[in-house]
Amino acid sequence: RSLTSRRAPREEPVAPFLYYFPCQRWLAVEEDDGQIARELVPVDEAFVKKDSENDGQSPATLGLEQKAKSTTYTVKVKTGDKKNAGTDANVFIILYGSKDDTGIVSLKASKLNKNKFERGKVDEFTVESVDIGDLKKIKIGHDNKGNSTGWFLEWVEIDAPSLGQCLKFPCGRWLDKLEDDGAVERIIFPAELQTVEYIPFVPYEITVYTSDIFGAGTDADVFIVLYGNDGICTQQKSLCLNKREQRMYFERNSVNQFIVEV
């Protein structure tokens, strides 16, 4: 009996491929757009090199690169005008598209109300996601934690400016273990007759240079309107998201960059 051995051919080492996921954004309820979780998309290495090496690429240009790969949704939530309709529980939402879904998104920071999900009030939130395709349905619910957990949800409205589409998701039911069918989360489909379509928004990089003279800075709400050759103009768009940013930007002898969709 003979015994032979054979060794597998040696493979050439493969150079590792690097992915860059820059953020440069706040994850805080009180800052930026109020999101505490962000979905990051990879960008080319040129966008993360130091200023001396990046051929003039700026953080705002990086923002444009990432904006092109993601969608920003404005989510409005209406709490019903019924007794005990508001909730202190933690509310979440999942957006389902034809390609993918957003995963669980916590609705933490309302742009309209300090105390969110109060009786008869509308709250507004920002949700960012990579391309999930055409929006088909949503799941919304809460964790049933807190002193007052039951919630009567009237409707949800989701606006995607970059897609030029605004959809309404009517509910009109309790999310309460002691009311209705006892469910604390629901899957809701859009009302086709209430869908609004419009010209999609386009992201722009705006750079503002404040002069170096006494009193040049401002804490006011600075806005911009863009006019085209044919006289058509955009909506008035504030460059700052909140009063804290108004105090931080537009200081004397400063350069501030913004990404705005109009």
**Cα separation of 23 and 117, whole Å?**
29
Reported as a single tens digit per residue, the pLDDT across 44-74 is 776 666 444 445 455 556 677 777 778 889 9
Reported as a single tens digit per residue, the pLDDT across 192-221 is 999 999 989 888 889 999 999 999 999 999
The vertex-54 CA angle with 53 and 58, nearest 5°, equals 135
pLDDT at 88: 93
- Whole-model pTM? 0.78
Domains annotated for the chain, with CATH where assigned, are: 16-45+202-261 (no CATH), 71-197 (2.60.60.20)
Reported as a single tens digit per residue, the pLDDT across 86-144 is 999 999 999 999 999 999 999 988 989 989 999 999 999 999 888 898 999 999 999 99
Beta-bridge partners for 158: 75, 167
